[in-house]
Amino acid sequence: MQDYMKALHARFCREPKLQGVREAYRTLKAKLGQQDQEILLQLADLENELRDESPLVSFIADFQLGMGIAGEIKPYCFEDEEKRAIERAKARYPQGKN
């Protein structure tokens, strides 16, 4: 099911484009020492993990909520509605015997 959800997510969700992030990263990296660069790299890795995981988790939760709501709704049937309309019409306008 996880693969199916990933495929649906890839089809219907668009990730935001983050412009300027790489340039800011390069500038910051150039100004930091070796130890600070390692910390920055760990932070960037964690951010990437969260960015990859969060939208999929959110999409799965939303999808499950939608399926739950859809399961609670009675499916519409045109034939049943037509029968109910006929019964209502008969009740409103009873035909007298001739």
Question: Tell me: the pLDDT tens digits for 48-72?
Answer: 887 777 777 888 888 888 888 888 7
Contact 50, 92 (CB under 8 A): no
73 DSSP assignment: S
Q: Which residue has tokens 């100004």?
A: 31
Q: Which residue has tokens 């340039």?
A: 23
pLDDT of residue 54: 76
**For all residues of the chain together, what is the average pLDDT?**
79
- Look at residue 85 and tell me whether its pLDDT is greater than 70: yes
pLDDT of residue 36: 84
d(CA 56, CA 2): 9
- Model confidence band, residue 16 (pLDDT cutoffs 50, 70, 90): low
